[in-house]
Chains A and B, each alone.
Chain A
Amino acid sequence: MPTKVRIPTPLRQLTGGEELVTVTAANVGAAIAEMQAKYPGIKDRLLDDKGEVRRFVNVYVNEEDIRFLQNQATLLKDGDEISIIPAIAGG
């Protein structure tokens, strides 16, 4: 079940400059673990020490914020796309 993950600029040092990587995990939390195995250090950048998504990180599955879905338990299926985006200001 390949899912594409869009990597934001600040994290591309960890992915060797790749802006799009592929994971096969079944949910968002597992996808983060899978990326951590491939790109060590990425988990610490996305999750705080309690394992929650950091305050200033927004994660979207198919353009929907995972906080409106099931957070890290949000299921992934073939062809889904994950975007990781820093929170930005308004107005």
Chain B
Amino acid sequence: MNKIDTQLILSAQQGDMSAFEQLVYKYDRQVLNIAKSFNNNDEDAKDIYQEVFIRVFKGLKDFQFKSEFSTWLFRITTNVCISYHAKKKEMDSIDKEIGSDGEDGYTLGDSLASDSKTDSVAINAEMAEQITQALEQLPPQQRMAFTLKYYEDYKITEIADMLRCSEGTIKRYLFNASNKMKMKLKNLLY
């Protein structure tokens, strides 16, 4: 383990808040980026950020240096992202039921087939929105693996570490997620 991290963790375990702050500032940008990539929402990303570091603060006294601090931190991050997403989905489910108008199978191609003229900026924004919507339909584990690979460019071994799975499982998540996403976005590709 990184010597600086070890010293900071030991000091923080003794109650040194400034050491804990330094530890937070070293990794918090990555945590926020993972949360933002997963949810594509600043407010949700901030909530996840708070939850992650509060858990780290409470659990740091039991940290036994069996793994890298960053690995442990990102595991907590992915867990919190997934559980936050599940809670939010439950809260939104009633709204979705009320608002549903039978749009199964809707793709961006259908909307772009209309006669309305849009400039390239609007098209890109719409594309990003449709990718996000397609991503939201993936199961949380697949979505997390997809986000960490495509958006954060982590290696498969690193993702396996974070999600506490084997590399084979992560590959399966990635292939399944990629195939589903490719199907949903097929009209954008041609």
Partners in one complex: no
